[in-house]
């Protein structure tokens, strides 16, 4: 439970950065909301990896390259799921872009990100070679 709570704090921190980038790109730089969301997701992913590696899963002593590769694989799925969800909710449900992003990211975080980070990206960190 402690790891799950820490993962959610990391996710909230990364999501704040993600949403800030998305908002600035959409509202002030007039990006398409889907492209703004994708850019925000990229920034949030980088921040989330660093926080999870350092603090949530305390995996800084394990092989960063291997973790990075596994994170990139799962994060690519995250990006695709988030982008598709935002696109569908905006284009077909007519939802406000930030609400579409919020609903999609919450669903993906709980159902996809946490289980894969815990069981794949940072699994067996003490047994990895450096």
What pLDDT score was predicted for residue 125? 53
What pLDDT score was predicted for residue 52? 92
What pLDDT score was predicted for residue 127? 44
What pLDDT score was predicted for residue 130? 35
Measured CA angle at 33 (ends 30, 38), to 5 deg: 115
Counting as low any pLDDT under 70, the low residues of the chain are 124-130
CB 51 within 8 A of CB 13: yes
């Amino acid at each position: 439970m402690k790891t799950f709570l820490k993962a959610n704090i990391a996710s909230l921190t990364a999501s704040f950065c993600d949403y800030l980038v998305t908002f600035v790109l959409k509202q002030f730089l007039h990006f398409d909301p889907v492209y703004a969301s994708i850019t925000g997701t990229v920034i949030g992913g980088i921040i989330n990896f660093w926080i999870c590696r350092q603090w949530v899963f305390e995996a800084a002593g394990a092989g960063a390259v291997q973790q990075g590769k596994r994170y990139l694989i799962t994060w690519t799925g995250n990006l695709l799921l988030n982008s598709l969800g935002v696109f569908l909710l905006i284009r077909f449900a007519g939802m406000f872009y930030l609400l579409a992003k919020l609903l999609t990211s919450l669903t993906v975080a709980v159902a996809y990100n946490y289980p894969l980070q815990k069981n794949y990206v940072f699994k067996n960190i003490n047994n990895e070679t450096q």
